[in-house]
Structure 1
Amino acid sequence: MVTFTESEIDKLIEEDVPYFDLTTYLLDIGNKEGTISFSARHEIVVCATEECKRIFDRFNLKVLKFTSSGTQVPPKEVFLKAKGKAEAIHKVWKVTQNLLEYGSGIATRTRNLVNLAKSVNPDVEIVTTRKTLPLSKKICIKGILAGGALPHRLGLSETVLIFEQHSKFLGGLEELLKKLPSLKKRVPEKKVTVEVNSVEEAFLALKAGADVVQIDKFSPEEVKKVVEFKERNFPSAKVAAAGGINESNIKTYASTGVDIIVLTCAYFGKPADIKVQIEPC
């Protein structure tokens, strides 16, 4: 799973508690003992409980119940609970709730997308794009991992993905494909992915030796043509379908036999609806 640094945990706390909790201070309840518990109002895939535990630790809260990220829990079931001073409980309340709601929302959407796709194509892999909400990448990636997907690319440094925006500088796709054998020799431990704009370009890229052909905004019928051509002629290559794939059409795209589905929609939507119960001991 994704690891948050100590400074990132501190920053999450500092955003909500820059100095102290004025309300708890004025009410003079800070030293009273209490519990904080979390449950969902609907079925969710839990995400970010590990970070919540680390926040609890910062405030000397004792964890009474813990559920790992990636666990599916039914409505109303308490999946995280801690005990300690009221001052600490109120300081961690919204920080942890926000983490859980956003992370679990992404994880739950992702699990649903994965289940829909694999119900018609058990071998398909769901991967997500770099289009995360700015400054929220770690919780987005942790969410999709908890939901059963993988990141398509975590950044520009570790993968070779050639877009039309690259090939234009070489004179177009055909000139790029001429360079493909030498390019693959330079990165023998990497897969080389080429994005194309038509079925015909997909055929050309496969013939040139692309390890993965990424097809963006193709219809399911066009995807199927590329998949069938690949299976007949280049079975070791992979086809990745991207662009506009979501819960409403993922089964249709998965049923084409495509190897990889690339999507962004898992990141965006309603957060999980998580109930926080705070009680004095």
Structure 2
Amino acid sequence: MEARTIFRPAVSGKCGPGLLEPGWRELEGDSGRGIDRRGRAGRGHGRWGRRGGKPGTQGAPRRAGEGVGACDRGFLLCIARGGGQPLASLVDEKVSQLIDLALAEDIGTGDVTSEYFVPVDRMGRAFVVAKDDGVVAGLEVAAEVFRRVGSESDVQVLLDDGARIAPGAYIMEVNGKARHLLTAERTAINFLQRLSGVATKTAEFVGAVKGTGATILDTRKTTPGWRRLEKAAVVAGGGTNHRMGLYDRAMVKDNHLVVEEGLESLQRAIASLKKDMPGVEVELEAEQLEQVKAFLGLEGVDHILLDNMENEEMTKAVALRTGERPYFEASGGVNLDTVRAIAETGVDYISVGALTHSAVALDISLEFAAADDDHA
């Protein structure tokens, strides 16, 4: 996984090797070079890069490997091992419409506070800052919100989707008319908080099954209109997308089986689908071991969903497989307390609705820099 740059508060305001938590590593610094709060290397001068001073204090020159950061202000430049793939090219026509809808909902007939209390020519500089530990996602969408409100706004995204962040992490810098920044603030942060919450929840589940060989999947239990964004956030958190909708995989569940006429009819339906749409996979839901045995005798079955089965039963079901396929997916009763034991049954996939329907928004805010602060 590609390393990603993030800003991590230093421990007790100190700099130096060995001060980062597991999973983080320091970026080596050059003697006399500073790192401002946006992570930009200085040239041996300025608030964060003045020469002289004691090692480990503000303005002190640093030896290679000694760590970098604004020590007195408590920031280290770190490399985070991100969980999943970056969210790429998310702002398509549908997402663009969602952004417009969200802005229209918030702005309505106009931002009366900014119009009456912020001078029209006042310029602003602000930073999107993390208040929680987590995994960031939705950066492209949040940046587009700022640009949509103020086309002249300069938006600098400081991280990649999938980067692990901690309280104090600087995520984005925005420069432009203060009115535009303030008007866009809530909508941009709403997208970022929600999607980062999904990525963070996903990363927790992925971490819980590490080393078992099981893959964490999302579901269709997404916020209406947000599916593409939330599923991209799952990937940023290290998870894998299940089907996007009803069109890209056939999932024959209990309600479908009720109206079926038996295994022969089921086999004919599978064969017909495979003939007409050979690229579409077929998944059958089983609630009992006897169903698994019956489904293993059918041709064209790519996945078997083990729904709400006890772990002992799932272990037996997996043992019945004689080849690579069908893959086994576990579903039902999955939470952070149970997911490890489920993974250890040998299933290939575990689908978790909570990734999207129960994710808690990550605490993220927009902070304006002081007018005289050159290195905010």
Does the TM-score normalized on the shorter chain lie above 0.5? yes
Q: Work out the CA distance in 1 between the residues paired with 2:147 and 2:91.
A: 16
The 5 Å alignment of 1:73-152 reads 73-117=165-209, 119-121=210-212, 123-152=213-242
Structure 1 residue aligned with 2:309: 218
1:206 to 277, 285, 296: 296
1:38 to 122, 128, 138: 128
> How far did residue 42 of structure 1 move?
2.1
Q: Work out the CA distance in 1 between the residues paired with 2:274 and 2:156.
A: 53
> How far did residue 74 of structure 1 move?
2.4
Q: What is the letter of the counterpart of residue 108 of structure 1?
A: T
Percent identical: 26
Asked if the contact 1:62–1:84 (Cα under 8 Å) also holds between the matched residues in 2, the reply is yes
> How far did residue 4 of structure 1 move?
4.0
Q: What is the letter of the counterpart of residue 76 of structure 1?
A: G
SS in 2 for 1:26: helix
Runs of 5+ in structure 2 lacking a partner?
Answer: 1-86, 372-376
Structure 2 residue aligned with 1:193: 283
Q: For residues 96 and 183 of structure 1, do their structure 2 counterparts lie closer, same or farther at Cα, with a shift above 3 Å needed?
A: closer
Q: For residues 188 and 261 of structure 1, do their structure 2 counterparts lie closer, same or farther at Cα, with a shift above 3 Å needed?
A: same
Asked if the contact 1:216–1:241 (Cα under 8 Å) also holds between the matched residues in 2, the reply is yes
Structure 2 residue aligned with 1:243: 332
Which one has a larger percent helix, Structure 1 or Structure 2?
1
SS in 1 for 2:369: strand
Asked if the contact 1:194–1:213 (Cα under 8 Å) also holds between the matched residues in 2, the reply is yes
SS in 1 for 2:367: strand
Structure 1 residue aligned with 2:37: none
Q: For residues 155 and 64 of structure 1, do their structure 2 counterparts lie closer, same or farther at Cα, with a shift above 3 Å needed?
A: closer
Q: Work out the CA distance in 2 between the residues paired with 1:196 and 1:40.
A: 43
TM-score by length of 1: 0.91
Structure 2 residue aligned with 1:160: 250
Q: For residues 212 and 88 of structure 1, do their structure 2 counterparts lie closer, same or farther at Cα, with a shift above 3 Å needed?
A: same
Q: What is the letter of the counterpart of residue 101 of structure 1?
A: Q
Aligned residues: 277
Q: What is the letter of the counterpart of residue 273 of structure 1?
A: D
> How far did residue 65 of structure 1 move?
4.2
Q: For residues 179 and 7 of structure 1, do their structure 2 counterparts lie closer, same or farther at Cα, with a shift above 3 Å needed?
A: closer
Q: Work out the CA distance in 2 between the residues paired with 1:280 and 1:86.
A: 12
Q: Which has the higher contact order (CA 8 A, sep 6+)?
A: 1
**Cα deviation 1:109-150 (Å, max 9, x = unaligned):** 011111212x231x3222111111233323322221211222
TM-score by length of 2: 0.69
2:345 to 249, 252, 256: 256
> How far did residue 186 of structure 1 move?
3.8
Structure 2 residue aligned with 1:69: 161
SS in 1 for 2:245: coil
Runs of 5+ in structure 1 lacking a partner?
Answer: none
Q: For residues 163 and 279 of structure 1, do their structure 2 counterparts lie closer, same or farther at Cα, with a shift above 3 Å needed?
A: same
> How far did residue 9 of structure 1 move?
2.3
Tell me how large the CA RMSD over aligned residues is: 1.9
